A and B are shown apart, each in its own frame.
Chain A
C-alpha cells in the first residue's frame, strides 16, 4: 500500500522568503502525486499534480514542485511567500492518474511572519 510522509508538521517563514515543503512517498509503481492547500475551515484546493514527463511541474499561486524518483520525493516550492499563503498543505499520492483513491500525508502547517 502507498504511504506519504510530510516530515515537517509546522513551518514558519518570513513574508517574501522562499519556501520548500517536503514530501516523501512510498509506492511500488509509478506514482501520481498531488499537492493540495487547505485554508482554515475550508476544503482542499489542488495546487498542482504530477503524472509523467517533465519532473518540474508548475501550479497555481506561483507554486511549483519537483518529482525526484531517486529520492521518492515531491517537494513543493515557492520563491517568495505571501501572507495569504498561510494554510495547511497536504501532499497526496494516487494509484491512478485521475486523483482517485488518494492517500494523504499528515500535512504541513505554514505560518508566515510579516
Chain B
C-alpha cells in the first residue's frame, strides 16, 4: 500500500515553454501533498505544501507564479513549471500523506531538463 506515482518520469522541454508534472496517490486518499526539488548531488528542498481543495503554501524563495500547484482531488496534485528556463532543470519529487500530521510517501521523481 501507500504507492505514489509521478508522470512523466523524465521530460525535456524548450526554454520558454511550460511543463506539467502529475503526482498521484494510487491506493490512498492524500489530503496533503508536498513538492520537493533536488539538484544533482544535493538534498531535497521543500517547495510547497498543498492540501486538497485549497491553495498551496509555498516555501520562502519559491515563486508561486512560476511553479503552479493544483491539488484538485484527493489522489492528484500537479506542478506546472511555467516559462521554463535552463536553471529550472532539476529532479522534482512529490510526496503524499493522509493528512497534515501523517507520514509522507514519496513518488519516484521527475527529471526535468530545459534546453
Q: Measuring CB to CB, which residues of chain A are less than 8 angstroms from any residue of chain B? A: 36, 41-46, 90, 96-100, 102, 104-107, 109
List, in ascending order, chain B residues with CB within 8 A of A45's CB: 106
CB distance from A51 to the nearest CB of B (A): 11
A sample of 24 cross-chain residue pairs with beta-carbon separation below 8 angstroms, ordered by A number, consists of: A41-B9, A41-B91, A41-B108, A41-B109, A42-B108, A42-B109, A43-B95, A44-B93, A44-B95, A46-B103, A90-B44, A96-B101, A97-B101, A98-B97, A98-B101, A98-B102, A99-B97, A99-B102, A100-B100, A100-B102, A100-B104, A102-B46, A106-B42, A107-B42
> What residues of A have a CB within 8 angstroms of the CB of B103 in the complex?
46, 98-100
* Chain B residues positioned under 8 Å from A43 (CB to CB): 4, 6, 93, 95, 106-109
User: Does B111 reach chain A (CB closer than 8 Å)?
Assistant: yes
Alpha-carbon gap, A104 to B104, bound state (A): 13
Q: How far is the CA of A113 from the CA of B95 in the complex (A)?
A: 32
Cross-interface CB contact of B43 among A42, A46, A96, A106, cutoff 8 Å: A106
List the A side residues contacting B91 at CB < 8 Å.
Answer: 41
CB neighbours of A102 from chain B (8 A):
46, 104
Structural contact, A104 and B44, CB atoms closer than 8 A: yes
Scan residues 1-51 of chain B and give those whose CB is less than 8 A from a CB of chain A: 4, 6, 9, 32, 41-44, 46
Are B43 and A100 interface neighbours, CB within 8 A?
Answer: no
Count B-side interface residues using an 8 Å CB cutoff. Answer: 24
**A99 vs B49: C-alpha distance when bound (angstroms):** 13
Most chain A CB within 10 A, of B99, B100, B106, is at B106
B93 engages A100 (CB within 8 Å) = no
Of the candidates A44, A106, A107, A109, the one having the most CB atoms from chain B within 10 angstroms of its own CB is A44
